[in-house]
Structure 1
Amino acid sequence: MTPTPFRIDVPQRSLDDLARRLDHTRLPDDHDNADWRYGVPRAWLEPLLEHWRTRFDWRAEEARMNAVAQYRVAIDGVPIHFLHVPGKGPDPTPLVLTHGWPWTVWDWEAVFGPLADPAAHGGDPANSFDVIVPALPGFGFSAPLRRAGLNVRAIGGLWRRLMCDVLGHSRFAAAGGDWGSMITAELGHAHADVVTGCHLTLPLLPGLDPRRIPADLYAADEQWMIARNRAARAVSEVHVTAQRRDPQTLGYGLEDSPAGLAAWLWERRRNWGDPGSDALVDPDRLCALASYYWHSRSIVPSMRLYAEHYDAPWHPLPGRAGKLLSVPTAFAVAPFELMLIPRALAARETDLRRWTVLPAGGHFLPVEQPGALVAEYRAFFGGLR
């Protein structure tokens, strides 16, 4: 399994087709919806679509992305696209960063440089990382996906093979957000023999049902988490149900309509993050996100991950005793994350070494608070060297 260099080069016909579709967008009427009660307001969406149609420059975005070394490799017949930013230091720690939905590998861009080349960003060169960022199967250019059954457990196995068999590391560190947190937890649970430590932002673990956490397990200074969990369900449950039960049906509309795709993706970016984060609603960033899913034609396989996961429950491995994560584990707790657990539960189920409650941030920490995340990784993984 030898990886081959890869460059993003979207055919001009795809750009022309997108422009034609955006030119002929038909938007529904929208009234009494300024509070987002019925979903994305037309008054918010329409100017962003116009920006995508007339001002966003995909070729400039493509050139920026191609400045990072990229590769593709097939593992058990599954195509995997990954970024590799080599560490510049005496002994870089191999670190796999895993994204979620609706993320892309480029959501990690602001942390690449500081982690790989700390000396150039005010850090200690002895605390450098060899950064590997794979795209989840079926997402972006980890395509085309022709195989079912790739849930969190299966992807954890693929990541082990990528890091060990393809890239030749005997041990590595792992971190992620959203699905990436779950896959990171799976690596710490099922592949502890090769994982030095796990850092999570979305605190989901094998067999954990966050809806069944007793309220009294939250400490007095964690009671705000209960209210946050309740509020987050109002903006997150609909997509889980739709993408678990009807990803293909929903996908016909999103694959055919860039406006529909954009509305579905952009609503989540806006509503799942810290309301104070301008980065999440930057027009060029939103257009880059929609373009990535559009040109790679990956919206349907990305949504199918929900069916793969929730239809085959993520249980602890049979015969395992002790903590769910036996490797050193850290949690960064963002106040606007979609789900939060009490520290007592994290300490009970993992080898908890670090627990940081951040002052800001939500579901997309690499975009919202990249500096805080870099500091977290340096402090946690640096202590494991």
Structure 2
Amino acid sequence: MSVERFHIHIADEVLVDLKRRLQHIRWPDQLENSGWDRGADLTYLKSLVSYWREQYDWREHESQLNRFSQFCCNINGIDVHFVHECGKGPNPIPIILTHGWPDSYLRYQKIIPLLTDPASYGGDPKDSFDVIVPSLPGFGFSSSPDHPGVNNYQVSEMWAKLMTKELGYGKFAAAGGDIGSGVTRYLASNHPELLFGIHLTDIGIIRDLLTSHEQVKLSEEELQYKKRALEWISLEGGYMSIQSTRPQTLAYGLSDSPVGLAGWIIEKFRAWSDCGGDLCQRFSEDELITHIMVYWLTNTIGSSTRMYYENSHSLPPLGYIKVPTGVALFPADIVLPPKDWAVRNLNITRWTNMARGGHFTAMEEPELLAQEIRAFYKPYRVEK
């Protein structure tokens, strides 16, 4: 299949079924005054579901999403959905942006116009990009793999084919966070000749530091990272353990209950964002529900969580990354990486501590991230 236009249209019967489920909920109880301490708060979730059932309009959001130029093509047997918006400038360079979990390609919805048309937002038209935002395999509108082994490495190979063979770019930029950070690093490791550079908003959990027993060889920063990361995994990493070991068991409940799905996702948006415990400080109800809807309407929560299993069981090791690398760290993100380790393992040419924001970088602070991406890639632009 060659590249084809893609248009979102969810069948009416799927929306009718969702409405029925939202009208017949069996709620659990919750300990008095426990709030979010033991997971998603009952009072908040009831309020969000009430809005979802009574006021949220999927067709309105579907129409807004269809304003983006969307496409689909088959790569390695998987139908890959992606946004492809061309830059409005004299010499845009292509950039592929890769999302993570539990967000979706919508992570980059706000930043796309800032990168394609910087002049309309106070920037320089010479800093424009052609922006490509794919949905990871098994996420949203991309089809799900029917075989094991589709991990960050395999996705990076798919992205190389998408950018070069399907879209015809000779060289391009790549950026990402969460799973997208891993995909981007494998892309840089295996295809450095294709990349101007890579830009990351995190480096994930650095497993080799956590398992290192040679404490004397670690810097003080690395030792502090190890302590913080192990504490975070102990307190917050339960979801990761389940998704890395028994994603299929989890999938039954989350695929059958929209409220169960909402609770699983919403807790992470609250815990990982720079919201100070108040989701409405960072996200509108519509924004959160639309992210949930992308999983619900496509029934891809099960296939999305399988990525954790594949990355835990089949990823090859990464060597030193020679491609110029920019890192932008948002202060409320999960366990910020030590610069010492990053410098030893990546060709760091720009390291920026951002003023605010959390894990969902392009959703929370699109302007700040867009400025940082433009600044990082500016030296690599070649005048035509």
Q: Which of residues 327, 339, 354 in structure 1 aligns to 2:323?
A: 327
Residue matched to 1:284? 286
**Given the superposition, is the C-alpha separation of residues 265 and 159 from structure 1 closer, same or farther in structure 2, using an over 3 Å criterion?**
same
1:224-235 alignment runs, 5 A limit: 229=229, 232-234=232-234
1:191 Cα shift?
A: 1.0
CA distance in 1, matches of 2:280, 2:357: 11
- In 2, distance between residues paired with 1:184 and 1:251? 27
Deviation (angstroms), 1:279: 5.6
Q: Does the Cα contact within 8 Å between 1:78 and 1:147 map onto a contact in 2?
A: no
Q: Which amino acid aligns with 2:336?
A: L
Ranges in structure 1 where 5+ consecutive residues have no aligned partner? 318-323
Alpha-carbon distance, 1:361 to partner: 1.3
Residue by residue over 1:147-191, the C-alpha shift from the partner in whole angstroms, topping out at 9 and shown as x without a partner, is 321001100000000000100011110000100011111111111
> Cα offset for 1:379?
0.3
Q: 1:356 to 1:88 in 2, by over 3 A?
A: same
Structure 2 equivalent of residue 362 of structure 1: 358
Structure 1 residue identity aligned to 2:307: L
3-state SS, counterpart of residue 262 of structure 1: helix
Q: Secondary structure at the match of 1:110?
A: coil
Q: What do residues 112-148 of structure 1 show as CA deviations (whole Å, max 9, x unaligned)?
A: 1110011111111111100000000010010143232
Q: Distance in 1 between matches of 2:235 and 2:363?
A: 19
Task: For residues 353-375 of structure 1, give each alpha carbon's deviation from its aligned partner in whole angstroms, at most 9, with x where no partner exists.
Answer: 00001121111001111111001
Runs of 4 or more consecutive aligned structure 1 residues displaced over 3 Å after TM superposition: 212-216, 222-232, 276-281
- How many Å apart are 1:235 and its aligned residue? 5.2
In 2, Cα distance between the equivalents of 1:200 and 1:71? 25
**1:346 Cα shift?**
1.3
Q: Which amino acid aligns with 1:84?
A: H
1:243 and 2:243 correspond = yes
Report the 3-state secondary structure (helix = DSSP H, G, I; strand = E; otherwise coil) of the residue aligned with 2:137. Answer: coil
Letter of the structure 2 residue corresponding to residue 149 of structure 1:
G
Equivalent in the alignment of 1:371: 367
CA contact (8 A) 1:218 1:343 kept: no
Match of 1:350 in 2: 346
Which residue of structure 2 lines up, in the alignment, with residue 321 of structure 1? none
Q: CA–CA distance in 2 between the matches of 1:83 and 1:26?
A: 38
Q: Assess, with a 3 A threshold, how the Cα gap between structure 1 residues 263 and 235 changes in structure 2: closer, same or farther.
A: farther
| Structure 2 unaligned blocks of 5 or more | none
TM-superposed CA distance for 1:99, in Å, is 0.2
Alignment of 1:119-268 (within 5 A): 119-204=119-204, 209-212=208-211, 217-219=219-221, 229=229, 232-234=232-234, 236-268=236-268
Give the conservation status (yes or no) of the 8 Å contact 2:155–2:183: yes
Contact (CA 8 Å) 1:235, 1:272: kept in 2 or not?
Answer: no
CA–CA distance in structure 2, aligned partners of residues 30 and 211 of structure 1: 35
- How far did 1:281 drift? 4.0
Q: Which amino acid aligns with 2:308?
A: Y
Residue 61 of structure 2 aligns with which residue?
A: 61
Distance 2:135 2:80 in 1: 7
Deviation sequence 1:275-301 (CA, Å, 0-9, x none): 347464421111111111000111010
* Worse-superposed segment, 306-315 or 129-138: 306-315
Distance in 1, matches of 2:158 and 2:235, equals: 31
Instruction: Say whether the 8 Å CA contact 2:210–2:226 is kept in structure 1.
Output: no
Q: Which residue of 2 aligns with 1:296?
A: 298
Counterpart of 2:181, as a letter, is S
Task: Please give the alpha-carbon distance, in whole angstroms, between the structure 2 residues aligned to 1:343 and 1:144.
Answer: 36
What value does the CA root-mean-square deviation take over the aligned residues?
A: 2.0
The worse-fitting range, judged by mean Cα deviation, of 339-348 and 154-163 is 339-348
C-alpha deviation, 1:38, in angstroms: 1.8
Closer, same or farther: CA 223–145 of 1 in aligned 2, 3 Å: closer
| In structure 1, C-alpha distance between the alignment counterparts of 2:281 and 2:65, rounded to whole Å | 18
**Higher mean Cα deviation, 48-57 or 139-148?**
139-148
The answer (yes or no) to whether the contact 2:202–2:337 under 8 Å persists in 1 is no
Q: TM-score, normalised by structure 2?
A: 0.93
Residue 32 of structure 1: how far off its partner (Å): 3.0
Deviates more, 1:148-157 or 1:234-243: 234-243
Query: Normalization by structure 1: what TM-score?
Result: 0.93
Rounded Cα–Cα distance in structure 2 between residues aligned with 1:329 and 1:64: 33
SS in 2 for 1:193: helix
Write the distance in 1 (CA, Å) between the matches of 2:35 and 2:50: 22
